[in-house]
């Protein structure tokens, strides 16, 4: 941008600040990585060893072999893809409707939708569980996915609406005069203009779905259906078996190994999405 305007000393400070912050952010992750390379005795020692005496790369093999990681990974991916698709396909139209249509009691209706953000999930789960059980949806992915296809991500609607509202209505009027249908205006004009916002919603939805522990725990009972976070809990118990231990002493080195493996795809996806994200922001200018 205006690179020339920044004084070299300020630039140096800027980088120092960024680097210091980054160090603080990464330190716990480094600890996680180091822990994942230790032996069980090194974990048990008090205080725990700083560095692994000999990096235990076998820990990764142990985790991979002793635990159906790929299965949980595929399950998590499937759920995330379906949830993201449903979120985008229902949240964009809803946000569009709430941004650009003058319908009576629209604000009231939107306020009601928004209020669900504040309702603790624990409250709705018992009535919902009863309903899903009656539908024979228990032990299937439908309870995790169907809400997303019915605008369940109210946060997404809210965020998209915040962005849509900054688009001047004259754009839409002009498109209407050109004869474009509302559906076309939404998907060919508004969504491309708001790509950064849509991508933000996609990323958030992905992370929530990927890291959600509560719902899979309640609705999935068969090990072959588990997603990664439930798998992690399952693993903490299972890992004791791999080390020959039993309740009480959790082999955190293996848990950290798994956590590292579990986080890795997220980092990759995010690094990729990040670029798209920045490009999207640069390409469309939300303010129009």
Q: Quote the least distance from Cβ 53 to another protein, whole Å.
A: 17
Task: Determine the straight-line distance between the first and last CA of the chain, rounded to whole angstroms.
Answer: 19
Give, as one character, the DSSP assignment of residue 94.
H
Please identify, using beta-carbon distances, which residue of 22 and 53 lies nearer to another protein: 22
Select 62 or 86, whichever has its Cβ closest to another protein: 86
Q: How far is the CB of 130 from another protein (least distance, A)?
A: 6
Residue 70 or 127 with smaller CB distance to another protein: 127
Rounded to the nearest whole angstrom, what is the least distance from the CB of residue 55 to another protein in the complex?
A: 18
Least distance between another protein and beta carbon 166 (Å)? 4
Helix, strand, coil percentages for the chain (3-state, nearest 5): 75, 0, 25
Closer Cβ to another protein, 9 or 119, answer by number: 119
Q: Please, which residue, 32 or 64, has the CB nearer to another protein?
A: 32
Give the residue among 270, 267, 273, 271 at the shortest CA–CA distance from 33.
267
* Cα 266 to Cα 72, 86, 213, 270, 275, distances in angstroms: 14, 20, 16, 6, 14
Gap between the Cα atoms of 205 and 224, Å rounded? 23
Q: Which is nearer to another protein, 17 or 53 (CB)?
A: 17
Helices (H) and strands (E) in the chain, counts: 15, 0
Residue 61 Cβ, how far from another protein at the closest point, in Å?
19
Q: Minimal distance in Å, beta carbon 145 to another protein?
A: 5
């Amino acid at each position: 941008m205006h690179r020339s305007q920044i004084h070299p000393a300020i630039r140096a400070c800027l980088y120092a600040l960024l680097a210091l912050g980054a160090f603080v952010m990464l330190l716990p992750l480094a600890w996680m990585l180091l822990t994942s390379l230790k032996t069980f005795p090194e974990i048990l020692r008090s205080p725990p060893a700083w560095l692994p005496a000999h990096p235990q790369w076998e820990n990764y093999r142990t985790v991979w072999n002793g635990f159906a990681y790929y299965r949980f990974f595929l399950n998590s991916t499937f759920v995330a893809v379906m949830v993201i698709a449903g979120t985008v396909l229902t949240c964009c139209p809803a946000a569009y409707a709430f941004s650009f249509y003058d319908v009576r009691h629209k604000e009231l209706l939107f306020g009601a939708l928004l209020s669900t953000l504040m309702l603790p999930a624990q409250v709705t789960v018992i009535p919902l569980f009863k309903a899903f059980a009656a539908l024979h949806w228990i032990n299937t992915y439908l309870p995790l996915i169907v809400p997303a296809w019915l605008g369940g991500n109210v946060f997404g609607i809210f965020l998209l609406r915040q962005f849509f509202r900054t688009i001047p209505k004259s754009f839409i009027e002009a498109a209407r005069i050109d004869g474009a249908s509302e559906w076309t205006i939404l998907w060919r004009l508004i969504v491309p203009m708001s790509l950064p916002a849509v991508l933000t919603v996609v990323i958030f939805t992905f992370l929530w779905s990927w890291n959600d522990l509560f719902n899979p725990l309640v609705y999935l009972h068969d090990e072959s259906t588990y997603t990664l976070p439930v798998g992690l809990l399952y693993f903490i118990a299972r890992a004791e078996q791999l080390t020959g231990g039993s309740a009480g002493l959790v082999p955190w080195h293996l848990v950290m190994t798994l956590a590292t493996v579990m986080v890795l795809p997220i980092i990759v996806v995010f690094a990729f999405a990040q670029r798209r994200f920045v490009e999207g922001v640069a390409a469309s200018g939300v303010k129009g």
